[in-house]
Amino acid sequence: MAKPITTRQREILTAIIESYISTGEPISSGTLAQSAFANAMSSATIRHEMAELADAGLLEQPHTSAGRIPSAEAFRLYVSQLTSTATSLPGPSRADFQMHREALHAKIDTSFAGLAGASALLERTSHVLAALSSGVGLAIGAAASTDLLEHIHFSRLTLRRVLAVVVTRSGMVRDRVLTLDQDLSSVQLETAANFLNEHFRGWNIDRVRSELARRIDHERSAYQQLADAQLASDANDLWSRTVPPGAGQQQSVYIDGVVNLIGLPADRDRLRAMLSALEEKQRLIELLNAYIDTSEQSVRVIFDLEQQDPGMAGLVLIAAPAQISGDSAVAILGPKRMNYESAINAVGYVAQLLHRIDTGDIAPLSP
């Protein structure tokens, strides 16, 4: 913006943003005069101020109609007002604001009741944030390198393509579609899975690979154990592709609420690109890591996501760092049309709640 906007322009801009959040439709000066100002401000006056706001880059005209919608810069300005406005509200309005906030916190507390363990808490976080918003709930945390193998299963999909599913003692489930150098039959896959489950159930995830390699080298030294060595080799190949080296140090991503974005009024190509970005979890990790500083505790609202990933055009990220068994992050990814006050409050409170549980300030909430 070239110059600060006036108080009247701010009131008009806020009314336009809240109308757009509610309806998703461009709004004209005439409609705004009736709906937001009860004709206390003339349509001509509002039209003049809207032109000024458009020149300042705060309003956009999506097509040839007279209606305008807020720009990303307008949303930034709106969000920046939310926290400062809450503390300056008059008594009755401040009381209503506080009542709404306490009700939201109580709802979140109830959603986390009876849970323990980082994986369960992060998984529930994605579900809670999706349920409380019109977007996708995200939670990202470090996968414990000490996690133990509970069960592994291989299923043949097509020629040289296999679905691998690993279940750990903490309850984390990892699935991956593998492309193999040579085809393995369903019997071979089942035999390899049985070999891993029999010999390595309860083992540290990171130790399995090194032990497999050791056994292969040892068994190849004896001719009569060549068949066993081949079985171990197949199992090692499958395991290495399913759980790459260092996987125990990678971050786990919990996602819920993708269906909330399906109904967005977006063109099919953009929607397809956005959904593709969501499916590639590593891109989500990179997206959050690009914007979240774990040394800070504040909630951040990021609008220009397409600069990081073109598939995120038209979306906004509301995220905060969290501490739950290491550096983590919680976030809502959604359309610009969302209830920012509620979303920011929810993300901030969930991040604080996870940290308090992790540090023992509060025990896991009772059901």
Q: Is residue 108 part of a domain?
A: yes
* pLDDT at 349 (0 to 100): 94
* pLDDT at 164 (0 to 100): 85
DSSP state of 14: H
In this structure, are 47 and 97 located in the same domain? no
* pLDDT at 65 (0 to 100): 67
CATH of the domain at 16: 1.10.10.10
pLDDT tens digit string along 134-165?
788 998 886 555 568 888 888 888 898 888 88
Query: What rounded mean pLDDT belongs to the chain?
Result: 78
| 145 CB-contact burial (10 Å; exposed 0-12 / middle 13-18 / buried 19+) | middle
Per-residue tokens: 118: 């980082």
Residue that finishes a domain, picked among 88, 110, 135: 88
Evaluate whether 150 touches 200 at the Cβ level (below 8 Å): no
Please check the confidence at residue 13 and state whether its pLDDT lies above 90: yes
Per-residue tokens: 350: 């969930």
* pLDDT at 140 (0 to 100): 85
In this structure, are 353 and 254 located in the same domain? yes
CATH of the domain at 265: 3.30.450.40
In this structure, are 254 and 352 located in the same domain? yes
Q: Is residue 365 part of a domain?
A: no
In this structure, are 107 and 202 located in the same domain? no
3-class secondary structure for 146-174? CCEEEEEEEEEEECCEEEEEEEECCCCEE
Whether this prediction's pTM lies above 0.85 is answered by no
Please check the confidence at residue 223 and state whether its pLDDT lies above 50: no
Q: Is residue 2 part of a domain?
A: no
Q: How many CA atoms lie within 13 A of 153 on its CB side?
A: 8
In this structure, are 137 and 259 located in the same domain? yes
Amino acid letter at 210? S
* pLDDT at 82 (0 to 100): 79
Residues belonging to the chain: 367
Long-range contacts of 357-360 (CB under 8 A, 24+ apart): 357/121, 357/324, 358/118, 358/323, 358/324, 358/325, 359/323
In this structure, are 214 and 300 located in the same domain? no
Question: What domain range is 223 assigned to?
Answer: 149-248
Q: Which of 37-41, 190-194, 268-272 has the lowest mean pLDDT?
A: 268-272
DSSP state of 135: S
Q: How far is residue 102's CA from residue 186's CA, in Å, rounded to a whole number?
A: 55
Q: Is residue 366 part of a domain?
A: no
Pairing of strands 315-323, 327-335: antiparallel
Please check the confidence at residue 224 and state whether its pLDDT lies above 50: no
* pLDDT at 233 (0 to 100): 65
* pLDDT at 225 (0 to 100): 47
Backbone angles phi, psi at 132, to 5 degrees: -90, 0
Q: Which of 40-54, 185-199, 255-269 has the lowest mean pLDDT?
A: 255-269
Long-range contacts of 34-38 (CB under 8 A, 24+ apart): 36/12
Q: Which of 17-31, 94-108, 236-250, 339-353 has the lowest mean pLDDT?
A: 236-250
In this structure, are 185 and 235 located in the same domain? yes
The residue to which tokens 């956005």 are assigned: 274
In this structure, are 161 and 25 located in the same domain? no
Please check the confidence at residue 248 and state whether its pLDDT lies above 50: no
Q: Is residue 367 part of a domain?
A: no
Please check the confidence at residue 121 and state whether its pLDDT lies above 80: yes
pLDDT tens digit string along 185-210?
888 898 888 988 988 898 887 788 77
In this structure, are 56 and 201 located in the same domain? no
Q: How far is residue 235's CA from residue 195's CA, in Å, rounded to a whole number?
A: 7
pLDDT tens digit string along 48-100?
999 999 999 999 887 766 689 998 899 999 998 876 665 554 455 566 778 88
First to last CA, the chain: 50
Q: Is residue 244 part of a domain?
A: yes
Q: How far is residue 290's CA from residue 140's CA, in Å, rounded to a whole number?
A: 13
In this structure, are 181 and 269 located in the same domain? no
Q: Is residue 15 part of a domain?
A: yes
Residue that finishes a domain, picked among 203, 225, 248: 248
pLDDT tens digit string along 79-89?
988 766 655 54
In this structure, are 159 and 235 located in the same domain? yes
Total domains in the chain come to 3
Residue that finishes a domain, picked among 194, 215, 248: 248
Please check the confidence at residue 226 and state whether its pLDDT lies above 50: no
CATH of the domain at 156: 3.30.390
Backbone angles phi, psi at 35, to 5 degrees: -80, -40
- Report residue 295's pLDDT band, with 50, 70 and 90 as the boundaries: low
* pLDDT at 17 (0 to 100): 92
Residue 24, C-beta contacts closer than 8 angstroms, at least 6 positions apart: 265, 337
Q: Is residue 297 part of a domain?
A: yes
Q: How far is residue 193's CA from residue 198's CA, in Å, rounded to a whole number?
A: 8
In this structure, are 95 and 189 located in the same domain? no
* pLDDT at 343 (0 to 100): 93
Please check the confidence at residue 345 and state whether its pLDDT lies above 80: yes
